Structure 1
Amino acid sequence: MIESWVIDDGSTVPVKSEVVLETLRARVARGLLETWLTSLSGRSLAFVTNTERAMVMLLDGDGDPGEHALDPGAEGSSEGFVLSNGQNDEYPDRDTVPIGEAFRLVEHIVSTGSWPSDARRAVDR
């Protein structure tokens, strides 16, 4: 059975993999740069962007440090990752990926429940 995900904004309607990118793009266009999805199994998927790069994290549950996407060859850092609480974060570029890659990762995780086989990621556990 494929895992069902909802956007963690009070919604109870599952988001399908076919529309998750459209949903994320619409949220970013409205200035919502942090999106959390939760699965019925208790896992969480985070997407935080500055509109050019994004942090993508997959957590197994509350308290799990999880895993995050990597761009190992990237140098420098980027700012402008605005969280829902107003906090403005800066991340090393190696710990974020270009937004197009982030969209691909999120779509694949929502569709299959796991990272794409070619995804670079760090296990933070």
Structure 2
Amino acid sequence: MSGTESASLVHSPAMLALASSLLRGRSPKPTIHAFLNSGVCRILLALREAPAYPADLADALGISRTRLSNHLACLRDCGLVVTVPDGRRTRYQLADERLGHALDDLRAAVVAVETDRACADADEKGCC
């Protein structure tokens, strides 16, 4: 991921809202939930599992192809996903595998916030 692409991620509306909540001493919980429950996040999580074609993603996620196309364009413009030509079709995938790890960390943070635990594995590890 280039510096420009990293800046796009850092300055995305979701990340700015999250940072704003944290700086104001507010709980990031509503912002995190809004991001995680959004169509954009569902697309990122699906692409984390495997690259996919838009029609397949729309069917799997149960959203219209038009809405999916708008989300994919936004994600592409932000540098979060890239397109890979495949004959007459175009496949989408995460721009960098580190995004998958970041999504995992964000999901773990949501679980920790929801349960007021410092880590998502508190029950298994017997900590927190």
TM-score bucket of the superposed structures, by smaller chain:
under 0.3
* Structure with greater proportional helix content: 2
Please give the TM-score of this superposition, normalised by the length of structure 1.
0.28
* Structure with greater proportional strand content: 1
Please give the TM-score of this superposition, normalised by the length of structure 2.
0.27
Work out which structure has the larger RCO, using CA pairs closer than 8 Å and 6 or more positions apart in sequence: 1
